[in-house]
Amino acid sequence: MRRSSEIGQTRVLSGGYVKAGGRQKFADNLIAQLPALRRYATALVGNSVAADDLVQDCIERALKRSDRLRDAQKLGSWLRSILHNLYIDELRRGKSRGIEQDVGDMADDLALSTPAADRGAVVDFVRAIDTLSVEHRQVLLLVGLEDMNYREIAEELDIPIGTVMSRLARARERLREALEPDGRHPSAVVMLSPYGRKAMQ
C-alpha cells in the first residue's frame, strides 16, 4: 500500500487541480499536512486502511473548496473539520469502517512515544479509544495528538469551552472504565497527560 504522502501527491499533482501561483502553494501546503492528517484520521476511524481512504476524500474536497479557506494559518483545523464531517457522513450512511487489521499495528500510526516495554498498554489504550463515541474521541485526540488547548478546540468545533471540558472529562472516565476492570494498565489513561497540560492554558 502506498504511503499517505505518495497518495496525496498523486491526487494533488495528477488530479488536474493544480494551477499556477496560489493554487500551487495551496497544494504544497496540503501535502505538508498529510502526515498529521493521516495520524488524526487513523486514531479517529480505528485503522489505517479506512484512514487512507478518508484522507484522500478529504484532500479532494479541500482542493475543490479551496476558496472557502479564509485563513491560511488555520489550514490544519479546516482539514480536520472536513475529515470529521466526511467520517460522520460515512457513519450515517452505515458504511463499513474499512478492512480490519491488528490493532497492534496502529500504535506507531498514533505517534505515541511509548517504550517497547509498554507496547501492551498502548494496544489496550487504542482498543479503549475505539469504544468512545465520535465526539468524545475527537476531543481527546485534539488534546492528545494535536496538543490543542480548550479554547482552540472550542473554536475548531464551534462549541462552548465548558462542553469541551465536559467531553474530555467523560472521555477520560470511560477510558478508565475500559482499562481498569481487571486492573490492567490503569496508567494508560493518562498517557496523553503531557499534551493535556496545554489544554489548561
Q: Please write the tens of the pLDDT for every residue from 9-25.
A: 434 433 333 444 577 88
- In tens digits, the chain (201 residues) has pLDDT values of 444 444 444 344 333 334 445 778 888 899 999 999 999 998 888 788 889 999 999 999 998 998 888 888 899 999 999 999 999 988 888 754 444 444 444 444 444 444 555 556 666 777 778 788 989 999 999 998 888 999 999 999 999 999 999 999 999 898 888 877 654 544 444 444 433 445 544
CA-based torsion, 88, 78, 100, 43: positive or negative: negative
Q: Are the beta carbons of 175 and 129 closer than 8 angstroms?
A: yes
> What pLDDT, in 10s, does the model give residues 125-140?
777 787 889 899 999 9
Residue of 5, 181, 186, 121 lying closest to 112 (CA atoms): 121
The domains found in the chain, sorted by start residue, are 4-92 (1.10.1740), 104-199 (1.10.10.10)
Number of Cβ within 10 Å of residue 155's Cβ equals: 14
- pLDDT score of 122: 63
Residue of 38, 16, 36 lying closest to 27 (CA atoms): 16
- Angle of CA points 171, 176, 177, to nearest 5°: 95
| pTM of the predicted protein model | 0.66
